[in-house]
A and B are shown apart, each in its own frame.
Chain A
Amino acid sequence: MQKNNSVKVEESLLNKIISVAYGDAGLIDRINIYRKARKDPFIKQLLNEYKKTAASVHSIKETELPASISSTVRENLGKNTNTNPVGSFIYSWLFARPILSTGVAGILIIAICGILLFHKPAPEYTYTKVEIELAQKQLQESIAILNKVFRKAETELDTEVMPIHVGKQVNKSFNLLNDLLIGG
């Protein structure tokens, strides 16, 4: 049965199934194959088998080269057996980084340097002696004006408001009360 099915699967379709399983097919192919796999159990089985193999292949870890080999090469070349991590880092940073990340890092560094160099906090203003004296004089004047206003108000209250406007009315009301009480 499977043999018949495998004959049925066209070469181009099989190639697409394999591409999808290994993850390098285009979006349209992927959608087509998944749709066909949903309808046809044989295609589904085929896709799953290839997917399983692809996953196994992709999970293969690289075997590390024994450190002794690179040390031997260094010795043979007359180099120090220890690598220079700082030099290697600087080199990788200067020459080997992808352009985009280097650009972003460069912009950040420029921005930080710019802030450090050009951003100065606003200077604290120090007043001169003349300014301080002038301010004191103005303060005294304004207090004197206020004092004058309050004194004027006080005398007005004592001489005009209390005896004439308030006292008169109070007397009038007491007289009215007396008349009422005596009269009652």
Chain B
Amino acid sequence: MLQSSKFDYLIKQHKDKIFNYALYMLRNRMDAEDVAQEVMIRIWKNINKFNFYAARAWIMRTTHNLCIDNLRKKRKQFGREVSIDDNLSERIEDHNNEGSPEKIITGIMLDEKIKSTIEQLSEIHKSPFVLYEIQGFKYKEISKILDMPLNSVKVNILRARKQLQKELKFYAKEQFS
């Protein structure tokens, strides 16, 4: 009963974070779903082993490691890479109250560009950036999750920010020239 409740609670709290992180790392929805499933299974298997208060870091570290394994395998296979975004219509509905169709499309395109630019960042920059900026983890937690010195976490986030800005500036120039 307690195990089951603990599992339910952890899944409820972290399932979207796991999936999103995997989605950014793997850039493929199916692979991200596979990773999310595997993480959930591992949570269940280790439900009595980890300290509850360290669960968040444990879960994200497991997710990160599985993503890295998956990327390694994919590199060997030259695998099945498809675009992540098959829920474009949902997002058009989300943006529907934001003004004219032109604005909506521009907004979606910018969101898309930002997402794809983040996805294209190198792994070492992308992981801390996604965990910090999108998932709201603290520097210390990221350092634990990625097993990376605190300073390196900060430096990599900064580099990711600069890279993102550079890419977006280039995109803006292309769009408006």
Contacts and interface: CB of A to CB of B under 8 A. Distances in A.
Given A56-B110, A62-B20, A91-B5, A70 B40 contact: yes
A178 interface: no
A91 B6 contact: yes
Interface residues of A, number: 35
A58 B114 CA distance: 11
Contacts of A88: 5, 8-9, 12
A73 B37 contact: yes
Interface residues of B, number: 42
Contacts of A53: 114, 161, 164-165, 168
A77 B44 contact: yes
B133 A63 contact: no
B66 interface: no
- The secondary structure that dominates the B interface is helix
A49 B165 CA distance: 8
B125 interface: no
A60 interface: yes
A79 B5 CA distance: 11
A46 to B, nearest CB: 9
Interface string B6-29: 111101110111111001000000
B83 interface: no
B11 A57 contact: no
A77 to B, nearest CB: 5
Given A56-B110, A58-B133, A60-B115, 18 more contacts: A18-B158, A18-B161, A18-B162, A54-B161, A56-B114, A60-B114, A65-B18, A69-B19, A69-B36, A69-B40, A70-B40, A77-B44, A84-B5, A84-B8, A90-B5, A92-B9, A95-B6, A95-B52
11 contacts: A50-B161, A53-B114, A60-B111, A62-B17, A63-B20, A69-B37, A72-B37, A73-B37, A84-B4, A84-B5, A91-B8
